[in-house]
Structure 1
Amino acid sequence: MLLWPLLLLLLLLLLPLALLWQQRSQHARWAWLASLQHHVAWGALGWAAAWQRRKLEQSTLHVGQSQQQALRWCLQGAQGPRSPRRGSTDMSTFRNHFPLTKASQAQEEDSGGQVPPATSPQYPGEASLQATLLGLVALNKAYPEVLAPGSTACVTLTSPWPSPLPWLGHALGRVSPTGAKDPVALLLEALRSPGLRTLEAGTAVELLDVFLALEADGEELAGAIAAGNPGAPLPGRAAELRQALEQGPRGLALRLWPKLQVVVTLDAGGQAEAVAALGALWCQGLAFFSPAYAASGGVVALNLWPEQPGGLYLLPPGAPFTELLPVKEGAQEEATSTLLLAEAEEGKEYELVLTDRVSLSRCRLGDVVRVVGTYNQCPVVRFTCRLGQALSVRGEDIGEDVFSEALGRAVGQWPGAKLLDHSCVESSILGKLPPPPPAPAPHSQVGYPPSHTYPLDHCLQEVSACYKSLRFRGSVGPARVHLVGKGAFRALRAALATYPLSPFPPEMPRVLRHRQLAQFLQRRVVS
Structure 2
Amino acid sequence: MLLWPLLLLLLLLLLPLALLWQQRSQHARWAWLASLQHHVAWGALGWAAAWQRRKLEQSTLHVGQSQQQALRWCLQGAQGPRSPRRGSTDMSTFRNHFPLTKASQAQEEDSGGQVPPATSPQYPGEASLQATLLGLVALNKAYPEVLAPGSTACVTLTSPWPSPLPWLGHALGRVSPTGAKDPVALLLEALRSPGLRTLEAGTAVELLDVFLALEADGEELAGAIAAGNPGAPLPGRAAELRQALEQGPRGLALRLWPKLQVVVTLDAGGQAEAVAALGALWCQGLAFFSPAYAASGGVVALNLWPEQPGGLYLLPPGAPFTELLPVKEGAQEEATSTLLLAEAEEGKEYELVLTDRVSLSRCRLGDVVRVVGTYNQCPVVRFTCRLGQALSVRGEDIGEDVFSEALGRAVGQWPGAKLLDHSCVESSILDSFEGSAPHYEVFVELRGLRNLSDENRDKVKEIGTGSEWTPHPPSQRSYALSQPGL
Range with greater deviation from structure 2 (344-353 or 244-253): 244-253
Cα separation, partners in 2 of 1:276 and 1:61, compared to 1, 3 Å: same
2:456 is the alignment partner of 1:477: yes
The Cα shift of 1:161 comes to: 0.4
Check whether the contact 1:123–1:299 (CA below 8 A) recurs between aligned residues: no
Check whether the contact 1:444–1:480 (CA below 8 A) recurs between aligned residues: no
The one-character-per-residue Cα deviations of 1:330-360 (angstroms, maximum 9, x if unpaired) are 2365211100000000000101101111011
Q: CA–CA distance in 2 between the matches of 1:475 and 1:140? A: 44
SS at match of 2:87: coil
| Number of the residue aligned with 1:416 | 416
Q: CA–CA distance in 2 between the matches of 1:190 and 1:132? A: 22
Check whether the contact 2:385–2:401 (CA below 8 A) recurs between aligned residues: yes
The one-character-per-residue Cα deviations of 1:71-111 (angstroms, maximum 9, x if unpaired) are 00011121122221111111001111111111127978999
The Cα shift of 1:18 comes to: 2.4
| Number of the residue aligned with 1:239 | 239
The Cα shift of 1:389 comes to: 1.4
The one-character-per-residue Cα deviations of 1:303-327 (angstroms, maximum 9, x if unpaired) are 0000000000000000010000000
SS at match of 2:301: strand
SS at match of 1:383: strand
Cα separation, partners in 2 of 1:406 and 1:276, compared to 1, 3 Å: farther
Check whether the contact 1:121–1:297 (CA below 8 A) recurs between aligned residues: no
The one-character-per-residue Cα deviations of 1:218-276 (angstroms, maximum 9, x if unpaired) are 11100000000111101111011111111111111111111111100011112112111
The Cα shift of 1:277 comes to: 1.5
Q: CA–CA distance in 1 between the matches of 2:278 and 2:86? A: 51
Range with greater deviation from structure 2 (383-392 or 113-122): 113-122
Cα separation, partners in 2 of 1:334 and 1:61, compared to 1, 3 Å: same
Tell me, which stretches of 5 or more residues in structure 1 are unaligned? Answer: 431-440, 447-467, 488-501, 507-527
Q: CA–CA distance in 1 between the matches of 2:421 and 2:109? A: 23
Cα separation, partners in 2 of 1:93 and 1:442, compared to 1, 3 Å: farther
Q: CA–CA distance in 2 between the matches of 1:37 and 1:90? A: 49
Check whether the contact 2:153–2:175 (CA below 8 A) recurs between aligned residues: yes
The one-character-per-residue Cα deviations of 1:200-226 (angstroms, maximum 9, x if unpaired) are 001111111111111111111000000
Q: Structure 1 vs Structure 2: percent identity of aligned residues? A: 96
| Number of the residue aligned with 2:434 | none
Would you tell me which structure has more strand in proportion to its own residues? 2
Question: Which structure would you say has the larger RCO, counting Cα contacts within 8 Å and 6 or more residues apart?
Answer: 1
Q: TM-score, normalised by structure 1?
A: 0.73
Check whether the contact 2:118–2:297 (CA below 8 A) recurs between aligned residues: no
SS at match of 2:441: strand
Cα separation, partners in 2 of 1:160 and 1:229, compared to 1, 3 Å: same
Check whether the contact 1:119–1:504 (CA below 8 A) recurs between aligned residues: no
- Supply the RMSD in Å over aligned alpha carbons: 8.2
Q: CA–CA distance in 2 between the matches of 1:65 and 1:322? A: 13
Q: CA–CA distance in 1 between the matches of 2:78 and 2:473? A: 28
Cα separation, partners in 2 of 1:112 and 1:6, compared to 1, 3 Å: closer
Range with greater deviation from structure 2 (321-330 or 383-392): 383-392
Q: CA–CA distance in 2 between the matches of 1:474 and 1:107? A: 52
| Number of the residue aligned with 1:268 | 268
Cα separation, partners in 2 of 1:476 and 1:128, compared to 1, 3 Å: farther
SS at match of 1:358: coil
Check whether the contact 2:129–2:163 (CA below 8 A) recurs between aligned residues: yes
Check whether the contact 2:417–2:448 (CA below 8 A) recurs between aligned residues: no
The one-character-per-residue Cα deviations of 1:452-482 (angstroms, maximum 9, x if unpaired) are xxxxxxxxxxxxxxxx999999999999999
Cα separation, partners in 2 of 1:402 and 1:108, compared to 1, 3 Å: farther
The Cα shift of 1:363 comes to: 0.6
Cα separation, partners in 2 of 1:296 and 1:481, compared to 1, 3 Å: farther
Q: CA–CA distance in 2 between the matches of 1:226 and 1:136? A: 34
The one-character-per-residue Cα deviations of 1:277-315 (angstroms, maximum 9, x if unpaired) are 211211111111000111225211000000000000000
Tell me, which stretches of 5 or more residues in structure 2 are unaligned? Answer: 431-436, 475-486
Check whether the contact 2:297–2:356 (CA below 8 A) recurs between aligned residues: no
Check whether the contact 1:125–1:319 (CA below 8 A) recurs between aligned residues: no
Check whether the contact 1:124–1:298 (CA below 8 A) recurs between aligned residues: no
Cα separation, partners in 2 of 1:235 and 1:125, compared to 1, 3 Å: same
Cα separation, partners in 2 of 1:5 and 1:416, compared to 1, 3 Å: closer
